[in-house]
Structure 1
Amino acid sequence: MSEILTVREVAALLKINEKTAYKLAAKGEIPGFKVGGSWRFERGEIESWIKRQTEKQGHQG
């Protein structure tokens, strides 16, 4: 299992605001899950998501 990240850590990884990371998670736009009311993210899932986003944008040209 890969490392579990908090909203703060995902925001830092993506270089976005924590509120933005929370909103994206709540909308299901980034892969995450709730534990006791707090969002958590698997590093591997986030890295795969980043890869998919860059591939999508690369094909839009």
Structure 2
Amino acid sequence: MQELLTPQEAANLLKVHLRTVYIYLRSGELPAAKVGDNWRIRPSDLEKFIEKRMVKDTKK
């Protein structure tokens, strides 16, 4: 099983505010599991989340 990330760890990796991660979690844009009152994020889901938001160079 993969090591799971906390929202704070995800925020640190993304270099965004913790509130931003919670917005993505609550909206369902960032897949995660809720364990009790705590969110946990698979690193592979975070990578997919980032890949979906990559901007392609359209000037080629």
State the TM bucket, normalised to the shorter chain. Answer: 0.7 to 0.9
**Cα RMSD (Å):** 1.4
Structure 1, unmatched stretches of 5+, are none
TM-score (normalizing by structure 2): 0.82
8 Å CA contact 2:4–2:40 kept in 1: the answer is yes
Q: What is the number of equivalent residue pairs in this alignment? A: 58
8 Å CA contact 1:3–1:44 kept in 2: the answer is no
What SS does the corresponding residue of 2:40 show, helix, strand or coil? strand
**Runs of at least 4 residues of structure 1 off by over 4 A?**
none
8 Å CA contact 2:29–2:49 kept in 1: the answer is no
TM-score (normalizing by structure 1): 0.81
Q: Which is richer in strand?
A: 1
Q: Which is richer in helix?
A: 1
The structural deviation recorded for 1:20 is 1.1
The structural deviation recorded for 1:2 is 2.2
The structural deviation recorded for 1:9 is 0.2
Aligned to 2:7: 7
Alpha-carbon distance in structure 1 between the residues aligned to 2:51 and 2:3:
17
Larger Rg: 2
Aligned to 1:27: 27
